[in-house]
A = this chain, B = another copy of it.
Amino acid sequence: MRELFHPNIDQLCLSTILNALGDPIRLQILKNLASQRETTCSCCNINLPKSALSHHFKVLRESGLINVRIEGKQRFLSIRYGELEKRFPGLLNTVIKNI
């Protein structure tokens, strides 16, 4: 695998994003990311088997919330702040403040 699918900014759908956010584990992941700019999958400090984590990362990525950059053996996750802010102004910041 060389590249992972990331939806385009104008394909993003509010209910899909809110649905991705409407899960305690994924909110926790987001909170971690918000405080760290970029993380690898294994640095999320969430006590779940890696296949379960991988599932949640995929939901976040496919909803458009996070970007996953492949570098060597690792994947670096980051929030798609700028694009999300353009598409849904204020949304992400407000959610993150309220986690």
State the A residues within 8 Å of B (CB).
14-24, 27, 88-91, 94-95, 97-99
Contact B99 A90 (CB under 8 A): no
Contact B24 A21 (CB under 8 A): no
**Smallest CB–CB gap between A35 and chain B, Å?**
16
**Smallest CB–CB gap between A19 and chain B, Å?**
3
Known A97-B90, A98-B91: A18·B14 in contact at CB below 8 Å: no
Additional A-B contact list (19), CB under 8 Å, known A18-B18, A19-B23: A14-B95, A15-B23, A18-B19, A18-B21, A18-B22, A19-B19, A19-B22, A21-B22, A22-B22, A88-B98, A89-B94, A89-B98, A90-B94, A90-B97, A90-B98, A91-B94, A91-B95, A91-B98, A94-B94
